[in-house]
Structure 1
Amino acid sequence: MEGKVHLVLRLSEVITDSGVVCHKLATRILECQGLPIVNGQCDPYATVTLAGPCRSEAKKTKVKKKTNNPQFDEVFYFEVTRPCSYNRKSHFDFEDEDVDKLEIRVDLWNASNLKFGDEFLGELRIPLKVLRQSSPHEAWYFLQPRDNGSKSLKPEDLGSLRLNVVYTEDHVFSSDYYSPLRDLLLRSADVEPVSASAAHILGEVCREKQEAAVPLVRLFLHYGRVVPFISAIASAEVRRTQDPNTIFRGNSLTSKCIDETMKLAGMHYLHVTLKPTIEEICQSHKSCEIDPVRLKDGESLESNTENLRQYVDRVFSVITTSGLSCPTVMCDIFFSLREAAAKRFQDDLDVRYTAVSSFIFLRFFAPAILSPNLFQLTPHHTDPQTSRTLTLVSKTIQTLGSLSKSKSASFKESYMAAFYEFFNEQKYADAVKNFLDLISSSGRRDPRSVQRPILLKEGFMIKRAQGRKRFGMKNFKKRWFRLTNHEFTYQKSKGDPPLYSIPIENILAVEPLEEESFKMKNMFQVIQPERALYIQANNCVEAKAWIDILTKVSQCNQKRLAVYHPSAYLNGHWLCCRASSDTAAGCSPCTSGLPANIQLDIDGDRETERIYSLFSLYMSKLEKMQEACGSRSVYDGPEREEYSTFVIDDPQETYKTLKQVITGVGALELEHAQHRRDKFKRTKYGSQEHPIGDKSFQSYIRQQSETPAHSM
């Protein structure tokens, strides 16, 4: 049950005017917290009952409207014993009734206008024997389910439910406590070899690579170190790979870290790209079954095939044209993957593509199409027919993205191989390669490492002469503009040699230009280190499209401007701020910058604490890894089987890092031990933090009493 109740019980001895004594119980209901919300509302009230074998007396609080944290503060009085003659010996002596069988029961209800009556929220029962002392009893209680007495069902009548529940609790200290371990982790990308780094060691000792990848990626993303780290471990993995066809196909630390990065940084990109098409597929309910065995009566194989082909074409198109929306951090990682793969397998010209497609298609887009609800693309599980359609689309997209040389061999089913023949054209392979080129380059590090430029946009626009000659005429001319991932150029006509070229890395900002500058609409400016190029697009839609795409390809340039001049420099001054120097700093903040990544809410200290907990949990493996380093340093013979699972390229460097890790973990463990002792001293059963009825409390007490201060 949800919710807890704060109450005070006081047993008082009352002497009446006639000199007789009776005992009265005052029950004060102070407040409740966290009561369940029923059908979107909660109008709670409480009933208080003094119950025993031969009596039952109930009273009720007022209803508190529209709150699940009601403040009642009401007192109810019950006569516990019959009046009797007063004497000192009988003080709090309940001989005339078996008080041990009396109890106070508090029931919480939700007041309802429905014909079915009020809804039960929970109850608590307090035996009066807890009041054998003169002081009041004040405590918080957890609400419990209703006691059905003898009507409870037998276990075998209830059925069974198998669950896998993982609960993790970390106590996070202030940031300075984590500095040694955090700094050691953040240096991982710079350690040579990377297998000797603290982050890589965590992946070696964890039972599942996913355990290590989740906090590592979040920590490195928070501190801007995820790309260097993944680049380092990816390069190391590629060097150990013997067959280019198996590159990044295992569940290694590299694969899990990239998966986690795509999940965190790429979810918005995934939604923007796929959600409209997935929603259309779910809503249209077109039959796409192409397995002759599964065809229903009245369905046409030709019609179903055409429906499926249209869906695949649509999904393929939205994916392969989404390159400019791919988050920067993902593009940087893909760049490092293709570079490492191309360097390792120089004779395989396709490996630079398969290294990237193994993630963006096989681990990102295809799973999202197959199970859209797991990626929040749909609110619920899809119906069986839609699920089957998405399965077929996912299979085809996965094969298209893999660029495998033998497409028919990619399918176990003959009907899928036959269907794939619709897409066995060079234009599909070219579209995939262009997409992979774009998301693994576009000016992010060294775009010229890509062998061929990728055309992003082209068309006629009007540009104002830049006045490269100080006293030359500055008129407007129509030119053919062309943007690739290498440069932005213009020429007289399409196909002519370029008259002027701006390298992508020289674009400092791309911003609209105010109409008052030249009395012309739809103008924007491409700002370079020496001057700005003023351009007029054909219409406002084209102007925005050019601004967006130019901003996207240049967004990672290191010298991008934070401020700019929204108007032109004419007649010896800037029209916007009247500054006379043509090199004066901008007067307005840049407006068209696209976010490089969606900002993530990550607590670096919490992630470091999680990593500490993992190191602490696997301390025995850390110690075994130390032994393995020592063994390899002094012995060249056959390795012990228990050491063979560790990747240790440099035993001495790895041992050094292990020692630092164990020291850092030990220091944090001392702080945790002190915190546990202090918390144990402050803990009070029945407090707001630990209400009576909290079944985990006794387990907590037992754990704390059994845990030595020095334990790992």
Structure 2
Amino acid sequence: MAKRNTLFIRIVEGKNLPIKDITGSSDPYCIVRIDNEAIIRTATIWKTLSPFWGEEYNVHLPPSFHTISFHVLDEDSLSRDDVIGKVSINKEALAAKPQGLDGWVNLTEIDPDEEVQGEIHLQISVLGDIPRILRCQVLEARDLAKKDRNGASDPFVRVRYNCKTHESAVIKKSCYPRWNESFEFELDDAPLDTPLSVEVWDWDLVSKNDFLGKVLFNIHRLQSAHQEEGWFRLVPDKPKHSQHEGTLGSLRLQLRLRDETVLPSGHYQPLTELLCQSVGPHLNGNWPDLIMLVDETTTAESRQEVASNLVKLFLGQGLAKEFLDVLFKLELDKTSEPNTLFRSNSLASKSMESFLKVAGMQYLHRLLGPLINRIFEEKKYVELDPNKVELKEAGCTGLHRVHTEAEVIQQSTSLLQSYLSELLHAIVQSASYCPVALCQAFQQLYQCVNKRFPEPEYRKVKFIAVTSFLCLRFISPAIMSPKLFHLREKHADARTKWWCRTLLLLAKAIQTIGNLDTLTCCSKEPWMVPLQPAIQLGITQLKDFIIRLVSCDNSEDLGLQQRMSLQCGSMEKEGFILLHRTKDKSMLMTSPFKKYYVSLNKDTLSYARTQHSKKSSFISLPRIRAVEKVEEKSFGSANVMQIISSRDNGLVEKLYLDCKSVNELNQWLSALRKACSHNTDTLSSYHPGIYKGDRWSCCHQKDKADPGCDKTKHGVTLQEWYDPLDPDLESQLIYRHLIGVRQAMRKKYQEMIKPEEEDDRETFEGEKKLDGVTRLFSVLQDLQNSHTAVEEEERLKSRNFLLELQT
């Protein structure tokens, strides 16, 4: 049994943001934090007060997280970025809405007294009879907020009880201080409801001290237990009323928290077997099958998630082709007008879309990567619409003469024709390396549509069915938003708007080609006419490509291929990165980082000076004991991570990687944590600082072998398209969905199986007992009983634990 917390995040857009630049606008971006730890940075949207991001993430979290917050900032190239505001949502608010949150949320002012983080280790006890003494032992703290310019704080503790106050010593330049001090108060003369307050502050010589957080204790409850010890989360002071409330703009967010209890594999086997049988060819044409019922009862809000879960489950079982085949036939049976085929967001459309993203992303990267990089590197201004041409952005033809509108459009047409030609050439050449899974899915789709609409007047429909997915739902969205498809890792600079327009026009052209119709597009947008010859040639090339694609003889075992390539998964990641390996050396005073090409595969993390160097060093993944962030003050960079591994002699070795951005940092952290998820000898604590001079920079401990002052956060990972499949989790997610629509399924099932003739009722009842849908309800009930038993066991453990504390 395992606990899985998955948080879906979609940062949609913002509106009414305040002006931060002298241009009368702002350049906003978002930083997403989990308990004050930055995990995501969105793209910067330039010169707007109503930015649209549309970025989606799935984050796997440990059950202990408390809050997710969205900080909106204005990017400045010459000075520190301006803070606009934030939105904070706690775990309880997310858990209270299992269907998720979707709407506009007002930004609030960022109050330093509310920006607290970290935990404090305390031991509180009641001693003696007369007089009774309250003793508060302040041991240590960890992960405190950084309030000083040196990237640390100077913390001290202030303990208050019954109008009396004690203060600890100040620990200089540390977010992981250790005090080991005790403070005592007399209890007898204090009212029963008097709380014990433990506050942590950052000491400042010149300005006022900064508040770092506090913990309150109910002494009346404590007296019955006599002693309480542990790590306590610091909380902010009472929030102040903001004078800017309602004036900082708002964010539109979509959030959904999934707290799953995943049972051992054996519990899901009956459900998996039943689903696999439901796509078998022997059931087609018999009683209404299970997939049809799922299709009929899945709502529009949950369709994308259900489609993704089903695709991953059938991919893991090597039955994705059979599953999609059933959906294609169900969709075709419901469609009478061929021009609307697969244009809605049906379960078939969403499943095929998910299938392309899971099974075809490597293909997409190989197909589009060179062209997207060329567009970003050339930085050419492109515009065809005369109403949108900006001559000052287009530059000059000579020393003083500015381009004319006609010259801009002519140059843009030439560039777009060049980009389009390169893209179509890449698509035609991709027939040789298109994955077998994709080829067979498109082949099946092409044949099903051709069989359903064989009439001559519908001869284009079978091609459009393929292009509606390949071009309109896969290639075109990736061109318009390369970052969302991992085609671009870093954010572009202020000239992004030029590239966005170039990408949009190119995506429009490929959409027109995918529709196999130039007239409609050119009649609605006449300024697209200059591209018409290139588009017409592209239609011919695309049709030839589809014929080649669906005519391939893919005779190899597709199911085996899917299981080998997808069920096991691939956590491969590579790229140039700044790296420093300590071994037994002391930390250098100068910058120790050098550029290496780092590569992660299923067994090792290797690095060399060049991509194709024969000489390289490597770390075996089973030897990795922790993968964690490093404090900013350690190297003067906020994006440094460390890989802690063990050597043959048992000594610990650290490898430091300096990443270009918070996104690259978290991609490497996430990939390594997932690749090492089954390691057994992992650390529970680590040092977020470095050993420099004769002590750790984080907690000032002098013992180099000290086990660590902060707990590891190895549970936080980002879900990526290349993640290995998790059959148990997918089965659990499908089970949860089916339980939620069980009553709707029963009702729909009764409608679908009602016999037309009364005389057939006896035969029908005999078959009903054996059909797959009836067995499904039994399987779901068994799984629900198993979950109930597990939850009851957890409740008993919690109750017994509380009883032990009281005794």
| Structure 1 position 78, deviation (Å) | 1.4
Alignment match of 1:302 (pick from 410, 414, 433): 410
Amino acid at match of 2:234: L
Give the direction of change, closer, same or farther, for the CA distance of 1:30–1:633 in structure 2 (3 Å limit): farther
1:519 counterpart residue number: none
CA–CA separation in structure 2 for the residues paired with 1:397 and 1:128: 70
CA–CA separation in structure 2 for the residues paired with 1:416 and 1:635: 64
Kept after mapping to 2: 8 A contact 1:195/1:654: no
CA–CA separation in structure 2 for the residues paired with 1:305 and 1:651: 68
Give the direction of change, closer, same or farther, for the CA distance of 1:631–1:231 in structure 2 (3 Å limit): closer
* Secondary structure of the corresponding residue to residue 289 of structure 1: coil
CA–CA separation in structure 1 for the residues paired with 2:256 and 2:346: 22
**Cα deviation code 1:630-668 (max 9, x no counterpart):** 5455589xxxxxxxxxxxxx9966993322111111111
Give the direction of change, closer, same or farther, for the CA distance of 1:60–1:124 in structure 2 (3 Å limit): farther
- Shifted more, 317-326 versus 361-370: the winner is 317-326
**Aligned: 1:291 with 2:385:** yes
CA–CA separation in structure 1 for the residues paired with 2:207 and 2:757: 79
| Structure 1 position 128, deviation (Å) | 3.5
**Aligned: 1:250 with 2:363:** no
1:679 counterpart residue number: 794
CA–CA separation in structure 1 for the residues paired with 2:426 and 2:501: 21
Give the direction of change, closer, same or farther, for the CA distance of 1:134–1:603 in structure 2 (3 Å limit): closer
Alignment match of 2:137 (pick from 27, 33, 37): 27
Kept after mapping to 2: 8 A contact 1:22/1:79: no
2:265 counterpart residue number: 175
- Shifted more, 663-672 versus 298-307: the winner is 298-307
Amino acid at match of 1:616: I
* Secondary structure of the corresponding residue to residue 391 of structure 1: helix
2:733 counterpart residue number: 610
1:429 counterpart residue number: 539
CA–CA separation in structure 2 for the residues paired with 1:429 and 1:39: 61
2:284 counterpart residue number: 192
**Cα deviation code 1:279-334 (max 9, x no counterpart):** 22233331211111112234422222222222222222222322222222111100
2:159 counterpart residue number: 50
Counterpart mapping for 1:525-564 below 5 A = none
1:321 counterpart residue number: 429
Amino acid at match of 2:277: R
2:520 counterpart residue number: 409
**Cα deviation code 1:612-633 (max 9, x no counterpart):** 1001111220121133135455
* Secondary structure of the corresponding residue to residue 260 of structure 2: coil
| Structure 1 position 63, deviation (Å) | 6.9
1:350 counterpart residue number: 460
CA–CA separation in structure 2 for the residues paired with 1:40 and 1:622: 60
2:224 counterpart residue number: 133
1:666 counterpart residue number: 781
1:626 counterpart residue number: 749
More strand as a share of residues: 2
Give the direction of change, closer, same or farther, for the CA distance of 1:161–1:290 in structure 2 (3 Å limit): closer
| Structure 1 position 686, deviation (Å) | 11
CA–CA separation in structure 1 for the residues paired with 2:410 and 2:534: 16
* Secondary structure of the corresponding residue to residue 664 of structure 1: helix
| Structure 1 position 386, deviation (Å) | 1.8
Gaps of 5+ in 2: 1-34, 37-117, 392-402, 557-720, 760-764, 803-807
* Secondary structure of the corresponding residue to residue 293 of structure 1: helix
Alignment match of 1:80 (pick from 185, 203, 214): 185
**Cα deviation code 1:323-368 (max 9, x no counterpart):** 2222221111001111112222233443332221111111110111
CA–CA separation in structure 1 for the residues paired with 2:532 and 2:780: 57
| Structure 1 position 375, deviation (Å) | 1.2
Scaled by the length of structure 1, the TM-score of the pair is 0.62
**Aligned: 1:385 with 2:498:** yes
Give the direction of change, closer, same or farther, for the CA distance of 1:189–1:232 in structure 2 (3 Å limit): same
Alignment match of 1:107 (pick from 192, 200, 216): 200
Counterpart mapping for 1:179-258 below 5 A = 179-190=269-280, 191-193=283-285, 196-208=288-300, 209-258=303-352
Amino acid at match of 2:424: F
1:262 counterpart residue number: 356
CA–CA separation in structure 2 for the residues paired with 1:334 and 1:196: 25
| Structure 1 position 145, deviation (Å) | 2.6
Give the direction of change, closer, same or farther, for the CA distance of 1:262–1:61 in structure 2 (3 Å limit): farther
Amino acid at match of 2:345: N
CA–CA separation in structure 2 for the residues paired with 1:654 and 1:417: 60
Q: Cα RMSD between the aligned structures?
A: 3.9
**Cα deviation code 1:10-69 (max 9, x no counterpart):** 122399xxxxx572513243665x76789999867863321246332221475796xx8x
**Cα deviation code 1:444-483 (max 9, x no counterpart):** 149xxxxxxxxxxxxxxxxxxxxxxxxxxxxxxxxxxxxx
Counterpart mapping for 1:479-628 below 5 A = 600-628=723-751
Give the direction of change, closer, same or farther, for the CA distance of 1:127–1:659 in structure 2 (3 Å limit): same
Give the direction of change, closer, same or farther, for the CA distance of 1:40–1:656 in structure 2 (3 Å limit): farther
- Shifted more, 268-277 versus 123-132: the winner is 123-132
Gaps of 5+ in 1: 16-20, 82-91, 447-597, 637-649, 688-712
Scaled by the length of structure 2, the TM-score of the pair is 0.55
Kept after mapping to 1: 8 A contact 2:279/2:322: yes
**Cα deviation code 1:103-144 (max 9, x no counterpart):** 2314376x99x9999986543222434433362013443332
**Cα deviation code 1:562-618 (max 9, x no counterpart):** xxxxxxxxxxxxxxxxxxxxxxxxxxxxxxxxxxxx975111111111111001111
| Structure 1 position 396, deviation (Å) | 0.6
**Cα deviation code 1:478-505 (max 9, x no counterpart):** xxxxxxxxxxxxxxxxxxxxxxxxxxxx
* Secondary structure of the corresponding residue to residue 145 of structure 1: coil
CA–CA separation in structure 2 for the residues paired with 1:182 and 1:611: 10
Give the direction of change, closer, same or farther, for the CA distance of 1:654–1:275 in structure 2 (3 Å limit): farther
CA–CA separation in structure 2 for the residues paired with 1:635 and 1:285: 73
| Structure 1 position 397, deviation (Å) | 1.0
Alignment match of 1:334 (pick from 422, 427, 442): 442
CA–CA separation in structure 1 for the residues paired with 2:435 and 2:209: 52
| Structure 1 position 76, deviation (Å) | 2.3
Amino acid at match of 1:223: Q
CA–CA separation in structure 2 for the residues paired with 1:439 and 1:117: 70
Give the direction of change, closer, same or farther, for the CA distance of 1:679–1:115 in structure 2 (3 Å limit): farther
Kept after mapping to 2: 8 A contact 1:194/1:200: no
* Secondary structure of the corresponding residue to residue 374 of structure 1: coil
Amino acid at match of 1:443: D
1:278 counterpart residue number: 372
CA–CA separation in structure 2 for the residues paired with 1:420 and 1:439: 26
**Cα deviation code 1:138-171 (max 9, x no counterpart):** 34433323445x6666855676444321111221
* Secondary structure of the corresponding residue to residue 103 of structure 1: strand
CA–CA separation in structure 2 for the residues paired with 1:116 and 1:330: 64
Kept after mapping to 1: 8 A contact 2:214/2:236: yes
**Cα deviation code 1:378-415 (max 9, x no counterpart):** 244783222122111101111123323xx111345343
CA–CA separation in structure 2 for the residues paired with 1:41 and 1:308: 50
Counterpart mapping for 1:84-99 below 5 A = 94-95=188-189, 97-98=190-191
Give the direction of change, closer, same or farther, for the CA distance of 1:159–1:680 in structure 2 (3 Å limit): farther
Give the direction of change, closer, same or farther, for the CA distance of 1:273–1:145 in structure 2 (3 Å limit): farther
Give the direction of change, closer, same or farther, for the CA distance of 1:121–1:71 in structure 2 (3 Å limit): closer
Give the direction of change, closer, same or farther, for the CA distance of 1:56–1:651 in structure 2 (3 Å limit): farther
- Shifted more, 653-662 versus 621-630: the winner is 653-662
